[in-house]
């Protein structure tokens, strides 16, 4: 059990439960279509019945969990059609977010993006040298941080939340490719160099094209 029950509707407990279950779905600990029973989840993660139901409600809204006809829950499926749909939404939302961020002409945003690229480069090196779960978790977070940084100056909270929702849905596909050794890190680094330079040069067309290429490559789609 990870988290105790403090009683009531503690938002901190719900946030921690959501993070833990979201992580385990992304890492394949909880498998696609696996049934999620409240009591079994409580024994594993902690929390009260109410906090676990609220957690599953949040994860359902994020598309990580599905409610079944019997009023139960299960992990969302992970079919080829699911991946194609997630890819479509990631490309549409992240291209729009980056386009708007580029228009912001913010030096602070540039600095944030450069820092995120640097952090991801270090994480890429680390996960190749020491491919264990702890390093993979850091790598996953660095990948998510770059995606978030690229959109952070778009000026739309709802756009950022939508993009983050579909990014989270894509994480288990990316992490599966990492576990299977199917990521071409040299090509990934080259794309990121092009994307970083295009952003700093305010070459919108090249930046948006390269971002789409990187999303497709990250999920092994064409």
What residue ranges of the chain are covered by domains with CATH 1.10.10.10?
Answer: 11-75
Task: Report pLDDT for 187.
Answer: 96
What DSSP element (H or E) covers 65? strand 65-67
The rounded distance, in Å, linking the Cα atoms of 51 and 8 is 8
Q: Class of the 80-218 domain?
A: mainly alpha
Dihedral over alpha carbons 164, 113, 28, 25 (to 10 degrees): -30
The rounded distance, in Å, linking the Cα atoms of 143 and 121 is 9
What DSSP element (H or E) covers 101? helix 80-103
Angle at 100 between CA 97 and CA 102, to 5 degrees: 110
What residue ranges of the chain are covered by domains with CATH 1.20.120.530?
Answer: 80-218
Q: What is the pLDDT along the chain (222 residues), one digit of tens a residue?
A: 555 554 445 788 999 999 999 999 988 899 999 999 999 999 999 999 999 999 999 999 999 999 987 778 999 999 999 999 999 999 999 999 999 999 998 999 999 999 999 999 999 999 999 988 889 999 999 999 999 999 999 999 999 999 999 999 999 999 999 999 999 999 999 999 999 999 999 999 999 999 999 999 998 865
Q: Give SS3 for 67.
A: strand
Q: Class of the 11-75 domain?
A: mainly alpha
| Residue with tokens 């109410």, as numbered in its chain | 50
Quote the pTM value: 0.84
CA-nearest of 36, 77, 40 to 57 is 36
């Amino acid at each position: 059990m990870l988290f105790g029950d403090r009683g009531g509707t503690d938002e901190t407990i719900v946030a921690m439960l959501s993070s833990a279950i979201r992580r385990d779905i992304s890492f394949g600990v909880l498998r696609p279509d696996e049934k999620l029973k409240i009591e079994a989840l409580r024994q594993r993660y902690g929390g009260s019945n109410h906090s676990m139901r609220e957690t599953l409600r949040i994860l359902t809204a994020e598309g990580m969990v599905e409610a079944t006809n019997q009023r139960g829950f299960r992990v969302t499926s992970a079919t080829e059609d699911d991946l194609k749909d997630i890819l479509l939404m990631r490309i549409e939302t992240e291209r729009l977010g980056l386009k708007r961020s580029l228009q912001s002409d913010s030096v602070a945003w540039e600095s944030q993006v450069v820092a995120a690229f640097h952090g991801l480069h270090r994480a890429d090196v680390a996960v190749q040298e020491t491919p264990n779960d702890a390093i993979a978790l850091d790598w996953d977070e660095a990948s998510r941080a770059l995606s978030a940084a690229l959109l952070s100056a778009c000026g739309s909270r709802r756009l950022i939340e939508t993009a983050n929702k579909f990014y989270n849905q894509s994480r288990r596909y990316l992490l599966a490719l990492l576990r299977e050794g199917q990521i071409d890190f040299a090509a990934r680094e080259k794309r990121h160099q092009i994307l970083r330079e295009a952003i700093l040069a305010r070459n919108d067309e090249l930046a948006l094209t390269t971002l789409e290429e990187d999303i497709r490559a990250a999920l092994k789609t064409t």
